[in-house]
Amino acid sequence: QVQLVESGGGLVQAGGSLRLSCAASGRTLVAYNWGWFRQAPGKEREFVAAIGWPDYSTKYAYSVQGRFTISRDNAKNTGYLQMNSLKPEDTAVYYCAQPRRFSAVPGTSQSDYDYWGQGTQVTVSS
């Protein structure tokens, strides 16, 4: 069973930065694809960013383009989401995810992913 453990969330002022990390472990060889989603209070879970494998294509939600960057360190089996110029509307629980199989096309739907992190809270104060 693959387990994804997230870290890096917290409280930050508007305009600040955070880097979320998601470490994968388990007995199953997994793809190096990564996806990030978020869910604000009272809102549906929405797509944030994704990266493909073995290609390096990335996709971002329009709301985070130019501010967030998705990356990975394959040697560490870890995915990252660098968040800059944070806004109060970025406040949400952020979830990392991985599919069972690799895909060159980054998935933007929850159904594209099989393994999910526990979520980490990001709060941006105004």
Question: 40-90 pLDDT, tens per residue?
Answer: 999 999 999 999 998 889 999 999 999 999 999 988 999 999 999 999 999
Q: What is the pLDDT of residue 27?
A: 60
77 conformational bin, left if phi > 0, alpha if psi -120 to 50, beta if neither: left
Which one, of 102, 19, 108, 122, lies nearest residue 58 by Cα? 108
Cβ proximity of 102 and 32 under 8 Å? yes
Please, how many CA atoms are within 13 Å of residue 102, restricted to the half-sphere of its CB?
A: 12
What radius of gyration, in Å, describes the C-alpha atoms of the chain?
A: 14
Q: Which one is predicted more confidently, 86 or 100?
A: 86
Mean pLDDT of 83-108: 95
Which 3 state secondary structure label does DSSP give 12? strand
Q: What is the pLDDT of residue 29?
A: 62
CA distance 54 to 39: 28
Q: What is the pLDDT of residue 36?
A: 98
Which one, of 73, 52, 69, lies nearest residue 61 by Cα? 69
